[in-house]
Structure 1
Amino acid sequence: MISYCTNVHPAEDVAGIMRQLDEYALPVRERLGDDRLGVGLWLSAPVARGLADDRAARRRFRAELDARGLAVYTLNAFPYGGFHDEVVKHAVYVPQWTDEARVSYTIDCVNVLADLLADDAEYGSISTLPLAWREPWSTYDDLRAAESFERVVRAARATGDRPIKLAVEPEPGCVLDTVADALGWLSNRVDPEYVGLCLDTCHLAVSFADPAQTLAAIAASTVDIVKVQASAALHVEKPSEAREALAAFAEPRYLHQVRELGDRVLKADDLPEAMRDLPGRGPWRVHFHMPLHWTPEAPLATTTDVLRTVLKGLPGEPHIEVETYTWSVLPDAGDLVGGIAAELRWARAALAREGASA
């Protein structure tokens, strides 16, 4: 079952999460005509800790989800908290995987997901950040991060018959910037039964990596795709002719890394920086999660072609989650319930066309 990620909602306590689910997830489920709707929960660190410490609270939470026809297969444990603060930017990469707080938070998420996991799920997945922002980072940090993953894996092994798996999500600008970086780091450092890849197709597109070649590289490695975040980046073929259109997306909350394709891939850590420093002679990909069903007016476009290629060649049946967290900062975003429902319809249709399971 395809899920939508609830990190689009700002709630950071259980009561607030339930209010957001009642306000958005239930109407989405009803609009789609579904008996059950997959929700990829985002739990802030305090919520995860409170639930992990209280089995009765987990059971009540699960009962509330069941009563609403909401099914949980996956958690998003990339943002630790404050994901809807006025300015997030680099704070989303803190704490990093060398920090005890990151380990404790992820273990809490493991224990919570084990009790929330839908009855028909073969495994649970938890997406997580690609170690840290790229600097500072050292060989010693590599060793500490590998030890941190092993501690989480030990916790996951203790949860029961259905494994809870970590899905490391490469992102531009981070220590594991690309899928190739993630494959190189994860190989021989982690238990492949419990740690794999979260393939975010927006991030993949921004890197300008060939999606078919990327899938082939993953298949040739020891690393499995545990989770796919079905997402699309902003694409601009001629940035020099699109400055006014691009300016509408240069918002202050989230980091919007930019890559320009030329003889080599040029890099900028945020859209305002790119508009100032990059030459704009080649096409740009911008880390701005665009609604899957949108077709922006020229000169803007999106990278749903990358997502379609991934779905066509996807091995196995990893969890699939629509993760457009940017609705609150999108120009002319419109109705959120209608937008989420439209994205899920688009994703289901794309999955059906490519022969994947929805």
Structure 2
Amino acid sequence: MSLSTLPLSYCTNVHPGQTVDQVIAGLEQYTVPMSRQVAGPVAAGLWLAQPVIAELEAQPAGLEKLRQLLGAHGLSCYTLNAFPYGDFHSERVKENVYIPDWSAPDRLDYTSECADVLARLMPEGCEGSISTVPLGFKELPHQPDFVDRCIDNLLSLADRLDQIHDETGRVIRLAIEPEPFCELETTPETIAFFEQMFERAESARMLDVARRHLGVCYDVCHQAVEFEDVAGSIAELQAADIRINKVHITCAIQLAAPGEDADARAALARYVEPRYLHQTMARTSDGTVHRIVDLTTQACLEPPQEFLDAEMWRIHFHVPVNAESLGPLQTTRGELVQALTAIQSLEYAPHLEVETYTWEVLPEGNQQNLVDGLAAELTATQQLLSGLQNDFS
């Protein structure tokens, strides 16, 4: 199988949007001019926060206005990001982005409403996808029956997605997105959960529905931060018959030999910021991985001894995917190439989406005009995908 032939998507969670008018303003101010700089069609991977979804459900005219804007500028939308439920651009997001978790009815209701909206937005002739939280955040308290509640809600959503297919002919798949320090973060954890969830299906029909509509969003940055072999990880998901419904084309920060490079650690300290969570992993020469839940200035300038002794750090900070380095710091672009190469061996083509949402919080000197920055990312990614397809064929 080759890579997806759908227009390359980019995720609009980089733009604030708590109302339909704000979402439209972001598309007009950034997406439309960016698309004019990129050769070929572009898809808008919309982030529609819960207040926006509620507004669209209450006022259908807003959905029509959004659809007309996309159509007028040759933009399509076949995927939504339903990971951030609330304000993803508030002063402090951090662990709040995982609330509500999948044990909560609010998460189920919101995601179901996103599916209803996507069914009315997506083009004819293609399938849809919705990315979502990996159950919840490990550092937050959960009830003893947390996993059971998550499974019940996810199976209920699968049933609703099957109903949407019956009613509209549209296939929409959920893409659960493993992330460091979340209930699902590693590939083995993800496989174990899906096996448990599939075992809970009460009938052959329900098992078929769950397998058809529930899968993962493979965020390359996240699995690189975990120091996973991304190609091997993708092969493990394939062997377990867990569908990769969406791939987030993303890069993390990487720092080699941190104990020997105080200047690079000082440069990394400039990426400490108060809005988003930046989970940090350090791998030693024997393969042991040490973990910090969020990057701090002290962790950069006066790190624990095991971090100083590590051979490499990786930090969950989505940096421009066309960058191989950021001053003295490296990125995990090499892992991105490996992941996209491995994806081509699947029997289907996952949706592909660039998701760099951190432009506003990049340190001074690394920021640039957002339209130009997004256009450079998508152009570089289109070139990368074209080259990989040529190599694969």
The question of a shared fold, defined as TM-score above 0.5 by the shorter chain, is answered with yes
Q: Is the 8 A contact 1:202 1:233 kept in 2?
A: yes
Rounded Cα–Cα distance in structure 1 between residues aligned with 2:86 and 2:325: 31
**Equivalent residue for 1:335, pick from 356, 369, 381:** 369
**Equivalent residue for 1:318, pick from 350, 357, 364:** 350
Instruction: Report what 1:295 is aligned to.
Output: 324
* Counterpart secondary structure, 1:311: helix
Q: Give CA-to-partner distance per residue, 1:190-229, whole Å, 9 cap, x none.
A: 5110000100000010000001211210110121100000
**Equivalent residue for 2:132, pick from 128, 143, 149:** 128
What amino acid does structure 2 have at the position aligned with 1:350? L
1:104-123 alignment, distance < 5 Å: 104-121=109-126, 123=127
* Counterpart secondary structure, 1:58: helix
Query: What is the TM-score normalised by the length of structure 2?
Result: 0.87
Aligned-residue offset at 1:61? 2.1
| Pair 1:54–1:247, CA change in 2 (3 A) | same
Instruction: Report what 1:154 is aligned to.
Output: 159
What amino acid does structure 2 have at the position aligned with 1:269? V
Rounded Cα–Cα distance in structure 2 between residues aligned with 1:186 and 1:236: 33
Aligned-residue offset at 1:99? 1.0
**Equivalent residue for 1:44, pick from 39, 46, 49:** 49
- What is the count of residue pairs matched by the alignment? 355
**Equivalent residue for 1:173, pick from 173, 181, 193:** 181
1:10-159 alignment, distance < 5 Å: 10-34=16-40, 36-121=41-126, 123-134=127-138, 135-137=140-142, 139-159=144-164
Instruction: Report what 1:6 is aligned to.
Output: 12
Q: Is the 8 A contact 2:44 2:77 kept in 1?
A: yes
Aligned-residue offset at 1:32? 1.3
Task: Report the identity percentage.
Answer: 39
Rounded Cα–Cα distance in structure 1 between residues aligned with 2:350 and 2:118: 16
Rounded Cα–Cα distance in structure 1 between residues aligned with 2:26 and 2:328: 35
Aligned-residue offset at 1:188? 4.3
Rounded Cα–Cα distance in structure 2 between residues aligned with 1:295 and 1:304: 6
Q: Is the 8 A contact 1:97 1:131 kept in 2?
A: yes
Rounded Cα–Cα distance in structure 2 between residues aligned with 1:139 and 1:355: 47
Structure 1 segments (4+ residues) deviating >6 Å: none
Rounded Cα–Cα distance in structure 2 between residues aligned with 1:151 and 1:52: 20
Instruction: Report what 2:388 is aligned to.
Output: 354
Q: Is the 8 A contact 1:238 1:299 kept in 2?
A: no
Rounded Cα–Cα distance in structure 1 between residues aligned with 2:125 and 2:376: 25
Aligned-residue offset at 1:244? 0.9
Aligned-residue offset at 1:50? 2.0
Aligned-residue offset at 1:254? 0.5
| Pair 1:52–1:155, CA change in 2 (3 A) | farther
Rounded Cα–Cα distance in structure 1 between residues aligned with 2:372 and 2:65: 29
Q: Is the 8 A contact 1:127 1:198 kept in 2?
A: yes
Q: Is the 8 A contact 2:20 2:55 kept in 1?
A: no
**Equivalent residue for 1:268, pick from 292, 317, 333:** 292
What amino acid does structure 2 have at the position aligned with 1:11? G
Q: Is the 8 A contact 1:5 1:322 kept in 2?
A: yes
Aligned-residue offset at 1:37? 1.8
Aligned-residue offset at 1:33? 4.1
Rounded Cα–Cα distance in structure 2 between residues aligned with 1:186 and 1:138: 20
Q: Give CA-to-partner distance per residue, 1:7-41, whole Å, 9 cap, x none.
A: 0001211111111111111111111144x320100
Q: Is the 8 A contact 2:254 2:314 kept in 1?
A: yes
**Equivalent residue for 2:238, pick from 216, 219, 229:** 219
Q: Is the 8 A contact 2:9 2:45 kept in 1?
A: yes
Instruction: Report what 1:248 is aligned to.
Output: 270
Q: Is the 8 A contact 2:83 2:133 kept in 1?
A: yes
* Counterpart secondary structure, 1:22: helix
**Equivalent residue for 1:279, pick from 307, 322, 338:** 307
Aligned-residue offset at 1:102? 0.8
Q: Is the 8 A contact 1:52 1:109 kept in 2?
A: no
* Counterpart secondary structure, 2:95: helix
Aligned-residue offset at 1:354? 1.4
**Equivalent residue for 2:229, pick from 192, 210, 213:** 210
Rounded Cα–Cα distance in structure 2 between residues aligned with 1:45 and 1:109: 9
* Counterpart secondary structure, 1:4: strand
Rounded Cα–Cα distance in structure 1 between residues aligned with 2:101 and 2:299: 26
* Counterpart secondary structure, 1:126: strand
What amino acid does structure 2 have at the position aligned with 1:261? R
Q: Give CA-to-partner distance per residue, 1:227-281, whole Å, 9 cap, x none.
A: 0000000000022312211111111111000011113111000111643445222
- Consecutive unaligned residues in structure 1, runs of 5 or more: none
Rounded Cα–Cα distance in structure 2 between residues aligned with 1:182 and 1:118: 31
Larger Rg: 2
Rounded Cα–Cα distance in structure 2 between residues aligned with 1:2 and 1:295: 21
What amino acid does structure 1 have at the position aligned with 2:192? G
Q: Give CA-to-partner distance per residue, 1:96-123, whole Å, 9 cap, x none.
A: 11111111111110100000112242x1
Rounded Cα–Cα distance in structure 1 between residues aligned with 2:156 and 2:61: 25
Rounded Cα–Cα distance in structure 2 between residues aligned with 1:54 and 1:195: 29
Rounded Cα–Cα distance in structure 1 between residues aligned with 2:328 and 2:387: 28
